[in-house]
Chain A
Amino acid sequence: MTSRLEVLWSPIGNRFILWGGDTITSYELTPKKDGGPTAKTFNVSDTHIAEMICTANNQHQVKCMDIYPHSQGDEIVALGGSSGKVIVTYLAKLAWDGSGLPRKEFSAKCPRPCTSINFNPVDSHFVAVGLEKYKPDNSIMIFDITQVCAKRDPTTTGFVAPINDGSKAIWEFGMSEHCQNVSWFHNNSKILATGMNMKFIRLFDIRDPTRVVTSTVTKAALGVCTNPRDDKYLASYFENQVYVWDTRNIEKPIQILPHAKPLIKVGWCPTKCNLLTTLQRENNYVSLYDIQHPTIGNEEVEPTIMERIVNLKTTFPLSCFSWHGTDENRILSSAGSNSSGKIEIKDFYVYDRMTLALSPYSELIWSYGKKTLKSADLKTLPGYTDISLKIQKRAKAQYGLEEEFHKNADHVRDDEALSSIWRWLHLSAKLVESGRVTCPSVNASHKHPGVLSVLNHDYEKFPSDTVTKPWADLGHSNCRGSVKYYKRQDRSKALLLCSWPVFDDTLGLKSFLETLEKEHAYSRAAAIAVFYLQIPLAMEILNCGPVEEGFNYVGIALAGFSNEEDSNWRKFCLTAMKKISDPYLKAMFGFLLSGNHNYDCVLKDTNIRVDDRVGFALIFLSDHKLYDYLNKLSSELCDSGILDGLRLTGNNPPGIKLLQNYLDDTADIQSTTLIAVRAFPHELNSDTVKNWILNYQELLNQWKFWFERADFDLMLVKYRKERPLPQVYISCTYCGKNISAHLRSLKSQQFSRINVAGSTNKLTGCPHCRKPLPRCIICLMTMGTSISDIDCISPQSFDNWFTWCQSCRHGGHSRHITNWFKEHLECPMVGCSCKCYSLDYTSPAN
């Protein structure tokens, strides 16, 4: 027996035989259990182990093996020995000779080693054996095992009946030749392919044993194997070349596949068409060759081969592989050797190339195996989020189309940044409308000025008033020093844009803080109260806060406010600050503790809302610092596409850049487009915004959101302030003049005499040549005739409208046409065979 380890799937489900050295072992695959692999088991995959069923040792004389294809219960194996003896027996019998199971022996007349053994796949009681050369004897023998395996030996008696050695070969071929390999064809199972004398491939037919069916001279006479799926192909190899033969014309190989290293096994996959598999020495991958045989026209062209390499990820070089007989794509591999004691078996799935596609509605479809498609709705996949799903939902809810900006915010309540920017758009529009905020730039379309555009940039000429107030004057008697803040008219306007009240407006502050309290934003309200230097008010707010959140303790802490260098309050707060997680409380104490007008603790904390940071800056930063800070903040927000930046830029060109960055990061074309259309009406004709609009419309179309798209288009027209051009014109068939233009002019000439016909401007003839307009093909009335009293046509609906087939140009009242096509397929016009109604693909399969 060769020392090379070989594997072969058993015809019995989930079992395989492994042999090599002097041992033959059969295994069964079972799901992995707890605990590591034991001596008798192997891990073959992530989920399964191979459990030993039985093993036969000391099988030194065995040279080759095959499993009876119809084995049941236990594998019947045929073993070719080194002395020309063939044993057919149950594996269990081999493992334990006292089992009483039957066995059968055949032998060649002259002793020499067997080289190859193969059961006939159809007449499976025939087993073909190839033998080494012996001058006066044949080298291929075919035995019949039926006498033994069909009728059972008298095993019940407990004796092994002596086998009649006279069981002779039924057919013999190849006198004085050396046979390397035998393999039956699967379809035409009477024919045997053999590799002979290291230089022939010969085909024998058992129905006519006297002659060779066909023969060819080639070096590649090793490992001759037939394709289970197609008798046409044959493969063989020598050294590092694989030959593929077409048995209809075996003179020349149809392909020679060169390999880098010498080959040790070639085989066809039984579950795939024309898939050849090869294994080279010292490799841990197998090569798969898909043989394509196209016919172009009636002419058959040379087959072409596609290679694929499958790495089986073994630690040792592979020694053998076996494709599963029925499970597609399943390949078993062996590596290592018995003698080294290191054996590696892998049960591997070679996945077919999967293809996939995604529908506009996030339905994923992919191929699984070669016969099935799988489709799944990603919306229902746990943990799956996708902005397109949100866009869909919002589009259906008329998001962005609401007349009032703040109502749009309600549609995006789940997105804080989006809803706050809609609210800001509402606020800024209101402020501009009421005249409380005016824009220095003359452009009247700037309904949404940003903080930067409201501020007067010429601060050298118009410096802000600096107000310095000692803390003591503010009612904090144990405080030293003073607080400095800045005032100017444009600063106050900018504060309003941050939704903060004007600094001295105590009433405004109170109502603002009350709304915040209603929203349970206690810490924010308290912080803003402190920023307005109303510390008692802040304590009041904190006291109102929910007890369980501990705001009242913060209030108590605040009450002891003292900014003296060495006060205990200051020391304590400095250490406690680090432990505060609420950004507003932190900012509040940070502000009170800050010296030297360094307010980084407020201005640089990104957890604090942009409007609050800007509001704070507007009060406490000097002109120069303020501009620096706002410009820096604005460009930062623009670059990272944070929508809050719009509060600074307003609807100036940088705002478009900001939206572009927002879009690039989030793929939220919807909000980008809607904000651009609503807040940047003067940019509507810029390339960028036009492109967004186009993309958003395309998206809605793809979802078949026709009505939503139409609503969007209507809104667009309102902002574009231009009348959309008509898409359809009617011209007279006789004179070719435009009728719709005439109808339009009628409308403008309110006092025209022709207009007495009524308000609907109905015409029944061409105003230019007086010829009648087209007729409805069903009722033969000309267009423009009122048919309100005819069969259930209501004048208000589309029923009365004219429609035409775009292919044959016949048409009529839409109601008539629809009724006609309910019962007919062809056009109602005599002699016209146009299938007008079916030309458009509309409904799903019926």
Chain B
Amino acid sequence: MFECQEISAEHKDLIHDVSYDYYGDRIATCSSDQYVKVWDRNKEGKWTLTSSWKAHSASVWKVTWANPEFGQVLATCSFDRTVAVWEETVGDTPGPGKRGQRHWVRRTNLVDSRTSVTDVKFGPKAQGLQLATCSAEGIIRIYEAPDVMNLSQWTLQHEVQCKLPLSCLSWNPSPNRSHPSMIAVGSDEPHTTPGGKVFIYEYSENSRKWNKLETLNITEPVHDVAFSPNLGRVFHILGVATNNVRIINLTPVEDSQLSGLTKLEIETAAQFDDHNSTVWRVCWNVNGAVLCSTGDDGCARMFRILSKTSWKPEGVLKGEGNQVPTAVEAAHGATQHIPQGSPVGSIASQTARYIKLGSISQPSREPWY
């Protein structure tokens, strides 16, 4: 029987992000109320609040877990222009035989951004302890902790200018060391600009620089991007939340002429207008066979892979947890297969649009270096 557990999050304002740790045993939430909360599963499988603390002095946009190899470590980013790295510590024992009180200590505060930091993600563990952030001023920053035992030392390794205000970021999670690091960023700039709003960057060992590989031709504001677990595929799959859900295959092609620079072949594998409104978030299941999305229709929707280039809607959950009857799903029709090169933007429905204009910053707060 399908059941839906309700957790009273006790946040005083909108929850912006919820994130599972590597094993799915813990979750962290963050909210406009400036708090971050950590939840653990108790013996009955119910989520219980174990820590809650005021993490920032403004809305906390994203919270993300580091690989457990590095300990119990969280990173948060906020409207207050900072990124914080947190580590769980064990406090004094309440008595013999009992576990010590756990609390989260701020290990570092990264204050390089001059505007709201919109996303933060830990890099794949094969690359060591890396942190990527993106901000409303359009800069991707890559930090690294050279000593994984010392989380208070982070060095700013790279700054990449993107020109457009950035809203979201995703690392290619491939565990393979021989794959160069890859990052996708999206911009929620409200005006349709030529050239697209999703950028793919790759780190080149030779030049020690992050190079822009591709700009995806998505002209609507982009609210979330997520790389699927690579799973040994020859291509990478990127899920994009814009005015619809898009699934894009990025196939690296060998380029013999240029040294070391990868080229990507881009193919839109699927596009779903099922939300019929702005799509806010996308996330993948453990093996990249199912993509989930949420949108302004107040529903969570699932899409499943049929083959490389075709996907199908797999289920719909309303925000309150009821399943939308399958008859409705059937009405949504069969798979949508977009042949490559077709103007996908024109198919997009424009009936409902949410636009986040981003911050209207004061002219006196222009970034300076």
Chains A and B form a bound pair: yes
Interface of A with B (CB < 8 Å)? 255, 273, 292-297, 302, 304-311, 313, 349, 351-378, 380-388, 391, 660, 663-667, 669, 672-673, 687-688, 691-692, 694-696, 698-699, 702-704, 822-826, 835, 838-839, 841, 843-846
Q: CB-CB < 8 A to A354: which residues of B? A: 280-281, 294-295, 298, 300, 319
Residue of B100, B233, B359 with most partner-chain A CB within 10 A: B233
Q: CB-CB < 8 A to B286: which residues of A? A: 358, 360-362, 388, 699, 702-703
For the complex, is B31 an interface residue (Cβ under 8 Å from A)?
A: yes
| B7 pairs with A353, CB closer than 8 A | no
For the complex, is B2 an interface residue (Cβ under 8 Å from A)?
A: yes
| B5 pairs with A375, CB closer than 8 A | yes
| B314 pairs with A384, CB closer than 8 A | yes
Which 6 residue pairs of A and B lie closest in terms of their CB atoms, listed nearest first?
A294-B58, A359-B24, A354-B294, A351-B298, A825-B93, A667-B289
User: Binary interface profile of B, 20-63, with partner A (CB < 8 Å = 1, else 0)?
Assistant: 10111101010110000000111100011010000001110000
| B7 pairs with A374, CB closer than 8 A | yes
| B17 pairs with A355, CB closer than 8 A | yes
Given contacts A311-B353, A373-B29, A374-B6, contact A353 B97 (CB under 8 A): no
Query: Nearest CB to that of B190 among chain A residues?
Result: A307
Selected from B285, B319, B355, the residue in CB contact (under 8 A) with A308 is B355
For the complex, is B315 an interface residue (Cβ under 8 Å from A)?
A: yes
Which of B139-147, B198-206, B304-312, B331-339 is the contact stretch? B304-312
| A372 pairs with B43, CB closer than 8 A | no
Given contacts A372-B9, A378-B302, A844-B25, contact A353 B323 (CB under 8 A): no
| A372 pairs with B8, CB closer than 8 A | yes
Selected from A363, A372, A378, the residue in CB contact (under 8 A) with B24 is A363
Report the minimal beta-carbon distance from A640 to chain B, rounded to whole angstroms: 8
| A370 pairs with B15, CB closer than 8 A | yes
Q: CB-CB < 8 A to A370: which residues of B? A: 11-15, 31-32
Q: CB-CB < 8 A to A702: which residues of B? A: 22-24, 286
Q: CB-CB < 8 A to B343: which residues of A? A: none
Q: Which secondary structure characterizes the binding site on chain A?
A: mixed
Report the minimal beta-carbon distance from B325 to chain A, rounded to whole angstroms: 10
Bound: A206/B292 CA distance, A: 56
Q: CB-CB < 8 A to B283: which residues of A? A: 356-358
Report the minimal beta-carbon distance from A232 to chain B, rounded to whole angstroms: 16
Bound: A820/B23 CA distance, A: 29
Q: CB-CB < 8 A to A696: which residues of B? A: 232
Interface of B with A (CB < 8 Å)? 1-20, 22-25, 27, 29, 31-32, 40-43, 47-48, 50, 57-59, 68, 71-72, 78-81, 88, 90, 93, 96-100, 116, 175-176, 178, 229-235, 280-281, 283-290, 292-298, 300, 302, 304-308, 314-315, 317, 319-321, 323, 326, 351-362
| B48 pairs with A355, CB closer than 8 A | no
Q: CB-CB < 8 A to A311: which residues of B? A: 351-353
Q: Give 17 pairs: A residue, B residue, CB < 8 Å, sorted on A.
A: A294-B59, A294-B78, A308-B355, A355-B16, A355-B17, A358-B290, A359-B20, A366-B300, A372-B6, A372-B7, A378-B302, A380-B1, A381-B315, A384-B314, A665-B308, A667-B287, A845-B41
Q: CB-CB < 8 A to A302: which residues of B? A: 362
Bound: A822/B68 CA distance, A: 24
| B355 pairs with A660, CB closer than 8 A | no
Selected from B78, B294, B355, the residue in CB contact (under 8 A) with A366 is B294
| B40 pairs with A368, CB closer than 8 A | no
Q: CB-CB < 8 A to A369: which residues of B? A: 319
| A360 pairs with B24, CB closer than 8 A | yes
| B321 pairs with A356, CB closer than 8 A | no
| A307 pairs with B357, CB closer than 8 A | yes
Q: CB-CB < 8 A to A294: which residues of B? A: 57-59, 78-80
For the complex with contacts A307-B356, A313-B352, A367-B14, 20 further pairs of A-B residues with Cβ separation under 8 Å are: A273-B32, A304-B360, A308-B354, A354-B294, A367-B29, A368-B320, A368-B321, A370-B11, A373-B18, A373-B47, A374-B6, A376-B2, A380-B1, A380-B3, A665-B305, A667-B288, A691-B176, A695-B175, A699-B286, A844-B43
Q: CB-CB < 8 A to B353: which residues of A? A: 309, 311
| A355 pairs with B317, CB closer than 8 A | no
Given contacts A310-B354, A311-B353, A364-B317, contact A371 B300 (CB under 8 A): no
Q: CB-CB < 8 A to B13: which residues of A? A: 273, 370
